[in-house]
Chains A and B, each alone.
Chain A
């Protein structure tokens, strides 16, 4: 109650200025009882007046889109935004999140000056504590990343922690990370300030107006239905926070926004006898699952408990809203943790325990972007309790997205299209967020997997593989094998195998890799997204030629590896396309492309009833036969010669394997090793698998998993879309000029940008690094996101890494940029620039020497390929 009053007081403090704006804007604006009538139409309607909605409105107006209406069902910033703790923290492991938080921080800092609304911005800094060495490693990793992003940050000792904060018990600490520029704000006021500024720029704001649904015609937003009438619009932005899921489902054309609310508690106290200084840093104790900030001389402390309480699973529910009470028993572990961290607080008097629901997403990252099914329907929601930290930056990116067609940074990790309908089950969301919320504080080690919401999509071979010791990971709901634990060998259980060092499966994967190199392995790769595109005439070829940079007019039976580029030449997708016949194509893309690629094709292919696309992902089981003996296995099973003379690489043929007919066999392996991909109609999957395993026995066949595949492809310098490649990377920047046929006699998307790059050179270059003085057994392993230094200067970050069992070294892949030493301006990266430098990779603050290479080791390729593919070597996608 108190907080509400307090906020109300503040609201009034901010009110006059904002109200005056409202008066100018509104027709009458005299009495609250007579709301300003809604406009009949607008370019953009934003639903939700919290931090995200106001931030989007603010940035849209800044970018010149002023015909914007913001609707709020209650009052501005009255939801989660009002109740949240108001901490702006830039210490984020994902680089795009870090950039958003950094931008937000800078935005809020000058917001009061810009708008005149008091935002309560105080630069307090933050201290993240480590109780264990592993935690310290993870903080060091973040610190490296912050430092190269220009955010001051240092790793400090427990003693220094005590100097920064008078109350902290440091006895169980091993270290901490100090970020001096982190800040505190009054979140509701920040949101009001953004609203005020937006309103001054022409955005119309209507409170007490709720959206019932969005009208859609022909897959486009046409208007918004509210309880106060209809507004015609071209764009709709769903910023409804925890109600975004329901709002998304309210229309005829549902938009899946997978998020779910959980109760979140924090404690407010009366002031201390000696009130805390206003600039005392915010304390984050992830091992204790709590955060503690100064609040009016007392403290505000909350946390992320192990047993969260999800709510509103069945949608908006008055009962649950009213039952949102303090739950002290639930808060007990966090309170214990708080008193352990600050024992002197025992005598401090409680003011209130606040229950403030937060929305969480299935992968702990926020959701933004355009709906894959409804054009003009944008979303920004699911802030995972960091709405204030991300709000400013996220609003900016979304506004750029709407205005320019794409944001100024790669936001794929946050893109709504990384999810599909498969993540929209309420049960799934409820279970998953119960795992996600505790994860906010859990240690994130390389290769951790979610444990809930599993076994949703599986290959027909799942049980067979599981019985043979498969260990699983999940991608886009699909279970994929990591590796196979040999019988009799026990691995550590899940908790203990969490490590930043050499993992316990090292030798297992090593033997799988060896088998791929020397004999033959089978990897179930059914999760790949598979589309078939066909037409009655040559429409399919014509339109695909426009969508893809490589030349698809190849003889039937050829497989072409190509990027699906955007206007800037960046990779929207990276795929293999087999020409099945004159008029039909089989397209294979990464697993998580299922929604994104579908939407891209739908949006870019002409509407032509003679042209059909079909998602056949579920129809085929994909087996990858890797290794020199794959040829023997397959020819014995099919009675067909499979040698390179008869079946050169990058070929595709439908043939019989065992008793089963109609198996699409392609001579690619996505690893650069010899072998075949088998696309098997699912009803034959078990048969073919059994046949392959039986026949393969004499050639030493064994199962293998994705970890082996990963090691194989990284040592051969194959980039992987979603990890190494993104919408801001062009083929020119990753050495794939040969996949671009600028002269194919047809215009294609991104052609101009690539032409320009070809003439002017590139500003970043995909490079492979071999770690030189790295001890695999003793040193921290690289993961991704490690800063790369050239001659001591920061030049970029790694995007993926793996141990190469052949080179017996770690290999990191990453992009090198060239910043002017004085101005910091980006310069063209030349081959010489790459080759003439001394490189180091920074793993959690420790630098390792690395050798840079622009081309893979040719010695790693066992087989010579068709002439035009020698250099193409395998810039294939995993």
Chain B
């Protein structure tokens, strides 16, 4: 939804905006959002829409663009003229008659570049896990992509962790969270003895018990430079857990909440303390000043916990008895559309701030998600921010964004990383779980997501081969039957990955809900600087459950 919230003011049919109609001769009803908006906010167009979460003051802070971009962008906010110039520029680009279509293989290679599948290995020809496996994929709109994903199996406890992370104001925070959060969760879940064992091993320099087995796509990287720093913070955490030894068995919900909060706390602390290594020092600051939402699922047998911070979403795909598909939300969005969230925020601050807390559906008029990791601009006191920025490296000091203090900033913190955790007991009819960043949900309704994934998964696995056997079948009848079957599977046929299939639909669906190659081709061939106007980064994980095992759990067989 956020995608066009700032762009929204553009009247599509206006002759001043050949951009949309040139680049996308698709019918305007593909962009209903655009139509519905007022004209008044037109001056805040371009740079807003580049960075949805953090209204306009943002993300060229991210490495790469850093050196030159911020000033220009920042200035643009106040000088609509320059903004308009930018706009014209973009228009020139798009209106050159570039009728270049991607071929289906090219489309596929773009869509499949980041796809990853994991099948839970079988032992003795049996898979006793409640998870069959998962498919994941990402489609960037930002360059570089600001979304991250993680998946890992806990080795010292049972269960599997999966998560999607949507970064804003750069990808540093999302990257750090994607690397670190699962360790915090895994440590939180560990029994006291295991923690002791691990601590002793570290103390005496012995080999450490492996905690997590990661399931990573080659593009999912870990930063080597910071690993020592991250490890030390993690170690401090488990040392405290050892000291605190409550003796109680670990509650998953509790563990998830603690892990989220602790990691966010560590991110904040690391930025305050700094690091003698200038690279690392800059890194921890970038992590803290950028932000990320997180939506993490922990599956152990029939126990499914979803911890969510921010506006990514988890959805359960349920197959009804009649074979149809329905969607069950397993997370609440933390944004202005969630009244409870608005109430919560308001309750945490004095009445005098009530009006300025949420403006234009954003926290302090700036931030879309109401909960997030990092984003110390919304958490630290003004004094702390100033101190850190001034003592920080020059790059930070020269940056307009970091110096900028949100308006009406009176009683920090305004933002928390504390997740809401939902527990769900898996049933045999629960076939899959979709974790996705808002890039998916703003283009597709969850009901459609449930149906498309459901049909994909069953189509792949349950279209029984036809056998003539002893029946009397004529060639004509068989031909009719086969033609029908082919029509059904043709759209599924191209993808071996449910997440890819979903992205194909999210990006390429036409008004009839069918994938339109021409549209898909256009959406994927948009130049970098335009892509972000039409879509957000999309990250999807589809976890497929093992109904047999879940059924067996239910019957007490396992």
Residues of A near any B CB (own CB < 8 A): 267, 269, 325-329, 331-332, 335-336, 338-339, 345-350, 352-353
Contacts and interface: CB of A to CB of B under 8 A. Distances in A.
Nearest to A338: B475
Given A328-B482, A335-B482, A348 B475 contact: yes
Contacts of A345: 475-476
Interface in B193-207: none
Contacts of A329: 463, 465-466, 482, 485-486, 489
19 contacts: A269-B475, A326-B465, A328-B466, A328-B482, A329-B466, A329-B486, A329-B489, A332-B482, A335-B478, A335-B482, A336-B479, A336-B483, A346-B479, A348-B474, A348-B475, A350-B468, A350-B473, A350-B475, A353-B468
Contacts of A335: 475, 478-479, 482
Nearest to B473: A350
Task: Tell me which of B467, B473, B478, B486 has the highest count of chain A C-beta atoms within 10 A of its own C-beta.
Answer: B478
Contacts of B473: 349-350
Contacts of A331: 482
A873 to B, nearest CB: 49
Contacts of A338: 475
B89 interface: no
Interface in B415-470: 463, 465-468
Contacts of B16: none
B472 interface: yes
Contacts of A349: 472-475
Contacts of A353: 468
A563 B488 CA distance: 62
Interface residues on B, range: 10 to 19
A327 B485 CA distance: 13
A348 B472 CA distance: 10
Contact of A332 (B465, B472, B474, B483): B483
Contacts of B476: 339, 345-347
Nearest to A332: B482
A355 to B, nearest CB: 12
Given A325-B465, A349-B474, 20 more contacts: A269-B475, A326-B465, A326-B466, A326-B467, A329-B485, A329-B489, A332-B479, A332-B482, A332-B483, A335-B475, A335-B478, A336-B483, A345-B476, A346-B475, A347-B475, A347-B476, A348-B474, A350-B475, A350-B478, A352-B468
Nearest to A301: B475
A169 to B, nearest CB: 14
Contact of A346 (B468, B474, B482): B474
B465 A327 contact: yes
Contact of A339 (B468, B475, B485): B475
Contacts of B479: 332, 335-336, 339, 346
Contacts of A332: 479, 482-483, 485-486
A327 B486 CA distance: 13
Contacts of B466: 326, 328-329
Contacts of B478: 328, 335, 350
Contacts of A346: 474-476, 479
A63 to B, nearest CB: 47
A269 B475 CA distance: 9
A345 B463 CA distance: 27
B502 to A, nearest CB: 24
A350 B472 CA distance: 7
A347 B475 CA distance: 6
Interface in B381-427: none
B368 to A, nearest CB: 46
B474 A350 contact: yes
Contacts of A267: 475
Contacts of B465: 325-329
Contacts of B485: 329, 332
B282 to A, nearest CB: 38
| 10 cross-chain pairs, A with B, having the tightest CB-CB distances, nearest first | A346-B476, A332-B482, A328-B466, A350-B473, A348-B475, A345-B475, A347-B474, A350-B468, A335-B479, A349-B474
Nearest to B468: A350
B124 to A, nearest CB: 17
Nearest to A339: B479
Contacts of A336: 479, 483
A267 B472 CA distance: 14
A345 B486 CA distance: 21
Nearest to A326: B467
A108 B145 CA distance: 68
B99 to A, nearest CB: 16
A329 B472 CA distance: 18
A319 to B, nearest CB: 12
A328 B482 CA distance: 7
Find the residue from A327, A331, A346, A348 having the highest chain B CB count within 10 A. Answer: A346
A576 to B, nearest CB: 44
A353 B472 CA distance: 13
Query: Which of B467, B474, B486, B489 has the most CB atoms of chain A within a 10 A radius of its CB?
Result: B474
A697 B474 CA distance: 71
A339 B475 CA distance: 8
B488 to A, nearest CB: 10
B316 to A, nearest CB: 31
Contacts of B474: 346-350
Contacts of B486: 329, 332
B370 to A, nearest CB: 50
B203 to A, nearest CB: 48
A585 B444 CA distance: 73
A694 B473 CA distance: 72
A346 B474 CA distance: 6
Nearest to B485: A329
B122 to A, nearest CB: 15
Contacts of A269: 475
Contacts of A347: 474-476
Contacts of B475: 267, 269, 335, 338-339, 345-350
B18 to A, nearest CB: 30
A325 B466 CA distance: 10
A627 to B, nearest CB: 40
A345 B475 CA distance: 7
Contacts of B467: 325-326, 328
A351 to B, nearest CB: 8
Nearest to A346: B476
B151 to A, nearest CB: 29
Nearest to A352: B468
A352 B482 CA distance: 16
A297 to B, nearest CB: 15
B401 to A, nearest CB: 43
A598 B181 CA distance: 62
A489 to B, nearest CB: 19
Nearest to B482: A332
Interface in B465-514: 465-468, 472-476, 478-479, 482-483, 485-486, 489
Nearest to A348: B475
A346 B477 CA distance: 8
A348 B473 CA distance: 8
Contacts of A326: 465-468
Nearest to B466: A328
A75 B244 CA distance: 76
A349 B472 CA distance: 6
A323 B180 CA distance: 46
Interface in B106-126: none
A332 B472 CA distance: 18
Nearest to B471: A350
Nearest to A343: B476
A338 B482 CA distance: 14
A336 B480 CA distance: 9
Contacts of A352: 468
A335 B475 CA distance: 8
A270 to B, nearest CB: 9
Interface in B213-260: none
Contacts of A350: 468, 473-475, 478
Contacts of A348: 474-475
